[in-house]
């Protein structure tokens, strides 16, 4: 089995270079994989499956084309696109995963997450996350008009940018104690996540045993993917052009 993991593309009309690189990735690297996993923040913002745009349609058609070749596609919510829903997945031929989710790879249980829930030192963000992911809040958001959701989305993005500029970098990274506790709770030795935009493979020791945390890169100055096969894990970057 061959696996491909990506996250944090933040697809948006203002960055056509990232969209082109993603479509090229689908036609090349993803076609070589049996399973493609997109671990959140696929879009810079997703206000609901009822919002139609040329970008969304292009992405949906490209994913459906790849799915039609036999590659299984899985998508996880991020903090930017947690309103992405079943209508999108049906049209794109992909499966929406819960966060966290365990997958079997090469005989090993591997934990997949977007990663934002591990950033427990960022108290303001965690408070906002709990509010927005509350089932009542989700129900209200999904039943607002598209215009209202756009207004809320703009406000949240502006606030997020301002707060991120003001926060120390260690606050916006994962809490290592939370990482260890999460891996221990799920009984895994490998964790794959995105969100922090700090791509790396970290070797860990948890309860006296070796473990690893693999952080996917964000698509900004380069594209990033994690390839996994019988030979192991390879984190790769590539130009967007």
* C-alpha–C-alpha distance, residues 241 and 239, integer Å: 5
For residue 166, give Cα distances in angstroms to 115, 154, 159, 163, 217.
Answer: 21, 19, 11, 5, 22
How many Cα atoms sit within 13 Å of 212 on the Cβ side?
A: 15
Do the beta carbons of residue 63 and residue 72 sit within 8 Å?
A: no
pLDDT of residue 11: 97
Q: What is the pLDDT of residues 115-152, one digit of tens each?
A: 999 999 999 899 989 998 999 988 998 889 888 888 88
Q: What is the CA radius of gyration of the chain?
A: 17
- Residue 198's pLDDT is 96
The reported pLDDT for the residue numbered 157 is 75
What is the torsion angle, in degrees rounded to the nearest 10, for the CA atoms of residue 91, residue 43, residue 77 and residue 166?
-170
The pLDDT value given to residue 166: 67
The SS3 of residue 174 is coil
pLDDT digits (tens, 9 = 90+) for 168-184: 777 889 999 999 999 99
DSSP 13: T
CATH of the domain at 118: 3.60.21.10
Annotated binding site for Mn(2+): 8, 10, 41, 79, 114, 195, 197
Longest C-alpha distance within the chain, in Å? 53
> What CA–CA distance (Å, rounded) separates 17 from 218?
14
The domain total for the chain is 1
Determine the pLDDT at residue 156. Answer: 77
- pLDDT per residue of the chain (241 residues) written in tens, 0 to 9: 999 999 999 999 999 999 999 999 999 999 999 999 999 999 999 989 998 899 999 999 999 999 999 999 999 999 999 999 999 999 999 999 999 999 999 999 999 999 999 999 999 899 989 998 999 988 998 889 888 888 888 887 777 666 666 677 778 899 999 999 999 999 999 999 999 999 999 999 999 999 999 999 999 999 999 999 999 999 999 999 7
Contact by Cβ (8 Å): 78, 114? yes
Judge contact between 5 and 228, C-beta under 8 A.
yes
Question: CA neighbours within 13 Å on the CB side: how many for 10?
Answer: 17
Walk across the sheet containing 108-112 and list its strands.
101-105, 108-112, 190-193, 209-215, 200-206
Residue positions forming the annotated binding site:
8, 10, 41, 79-80, 114, 122, 160, 164, 167, 195, 197
Tell me the C-alpha distance between 91 and 107, whole Å.
32
Predicted confidence at residue 163, as pLDDT, reads 63
Contact 35, 71 (CB under 8 A): yes
Instruction: Give the number of C-alpha atoms closer than 13 A to the C-alpha of residue 55, restricted to the C-beta side.
Output: 19
- DSSP label of 183: H
Feature table: binding site for substrate: 79-80, 122, 160, 164, 167, 195
Domain ranges, residue 112: 3-238
Contact indicator for 7, 38 with CB cutoff of 8 Å? yes
């Amino acid at each position: 089995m061959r696996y491909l993991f990506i996250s944090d593309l933040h697809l948006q009309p203002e960055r056509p270079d990232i969209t082109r690189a993603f479509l090229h990735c689908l036609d090349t690297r993803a076609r070589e994989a049996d399973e493609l996993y997109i671990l959140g923040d696929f879009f810079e913002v997703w206000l609901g499956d009822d919002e139609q745009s040329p970008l969304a349609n292009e992405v949906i058609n490209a994913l459906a084309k790849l799915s039609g070749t036999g590659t299984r596609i899985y998508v996880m919510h991020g903090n930017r696109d947690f309103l992405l829903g079943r209508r999108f997945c049906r049209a794109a031929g992909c499966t929406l995963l819960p966060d966290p989710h365990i997958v079997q790879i090469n005989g090993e249980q591997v934990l997949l997450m977007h990663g934002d829930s591990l950033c427990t030192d960022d108290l303001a963000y965690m408070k906002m996350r709990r509010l927005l992911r509350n089932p009542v809040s989700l129900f209200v958001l999904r039943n607002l008009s598209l215009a209202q959701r756009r207004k809320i989305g703009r406000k949240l993005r502006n606030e997020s940018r301002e707060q991120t500029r003001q926060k120390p970098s260690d606050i916006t990274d994962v809490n290592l104690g939370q990482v260890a506790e999460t891996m221990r709770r799920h009984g895994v030795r490998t964790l794959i996540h995105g969100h922090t935009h700090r791509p790396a493979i970290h070797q860990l020791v948890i309860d006296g045993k070796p473990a690893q945390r693999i952080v996917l890169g964000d698509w900004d100055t380069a594209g990033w993917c994690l390839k996994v096969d019988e030979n192991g894990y390879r984190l790769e970057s590539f130009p967007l052009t």
